[in-house]
Chains A and B, each alone.
Chain A
């Protein structure tokens, strides 16, 4: 046992919480070291001295004063916060309502500006460099007023299964895409 272990065990020894074996080791150390024994004795005497501290008693006015305070506490009017009624907009004062509105509008504006372009793109914008429009699936809808340049033959029109009608004349793919039929 070293000094640190000894000091850590002093309270346990004084409170009779050490096991028999630990107590034996502790007492052996104490008997060998005079300083250690002196320290334990002093701590023990200090503890006994605290038991002899004078007992302080409350004064005669203690109970009457306590009752007065209880009475005061009972009869104290509840704290009411009387606020001048102010006009509010959805619970916000005018100043905060304006501030919140400005923040919401600015968020919407920023959101629109940072929105992905692909989503905002107009349907009339061409995906290919050619004049080809996406072939319409509804072959019956051949209104000449539409902007579609897809030409549908009468036979194709009757053939409802053929949905890949492309105007080859207007096809400009810059040689990026070649149809199987065109490959020689």
Chain B
């Protein structure tokens, strides 16, 4: 069966898929037994999810494990999805809950992640195939500083900032994922942005660029 799944994933990557099913159509087909639909969904969301989770846990390996947990849950609990909300809403809700659980576990373990250190310390460097330029180095520096500031935010602000600014989801979708009214989402975004700026007060982004 494992080999079958791998064969399906290879077939999928080889075929030029001009006709794309929507996410909701794919999950429906998967619920009816089409495993290739599941693989298509995995391929669509795995990179988006790892970027989302990484912003919570700041560790690529942990983020990858959590993404696998989320996708495994989709596989084992496929029938829990009802076509009332978007599939992405359901998936982000699962992934977000797993990320928050991991954060809580980390707090109790009190493990200091090297990537949470400031730029003056040695920290995790994101691999890049592009040649290093001054601008790229500057962007990387800014990214780390912003990430540190995001990490200092309360969890409900952090979640909303990541979903809005990094994942670029709409307010309506964020409202469904975090399960708060639309007005509350907009209010939280505003306050989260203001608080993020307070954390970034020591550097002026305008001067750096």
Contact = CB atoms under 8 A, between A and B. Distances in A.
B68 A62 contact: yes
A10 B196 CA distance: 13
Contacts of B2: 67-68, 70-71
B98 interface: no
From A54, A64, A74, name the one whose CB has the most chain B CB atoms within 10 angstroms. A54
Contacts of A62: 46, 64, 67-68
A35 B139 CA distance: 25
A161 interface: no
Contact of A71 (B1, B50, B194): B1
Contacts of A70: 2, 5, 72, 75
B86 to A, nearest CB: 21
B47 A56 contact: yes
Given A49-B146, A54-B126, A10 B194 contact: yes
Interface in A48-62: 49-59, 62
B85 interface: no
Main DSSP-derived SS at the B contact region: helix
A58 B193 contact: no
A73 B64 contact: no
Interface stretch (A24-32, A38-46, A87-95): A38-46
Contacts of B6: 63-64, 67
Nearest to A45: B205
- How many chain B residues sit at the interface, stated as a range, is 35 or more
Interface in B41-65: 42, 46-47, 50-51, 54, 60, 63-64
A45 B165 CA distance: 12
Contacts of A10: 190, 193-194
28 contacts: A10-B190, A10-B193, A11-B186, A11-B189, A11-B190, A41-B206, A42-B205, A43-B194, A46-B146, A46-B197, A49-B142, A49-B146, A49-B205, A50-B166, A51-B168, A52-B142, A53-B51, A54-B140, A56-B47, A56-B51, A57-B47, A58-B46, A59-B64, A62-B46, A66-B71, A67-B9, A70-B5, A73-B72
Given A7-B194, A49-B139, A55-B47, 7 more contacts: A12-B186, A46-B197, A50-B146, A52-B139, A64-B6, A67-B2, A70-B2
Interface of A: 7-8, 10-12, 39, 41-43, 45-47, 49-59, 62-71, 73-74
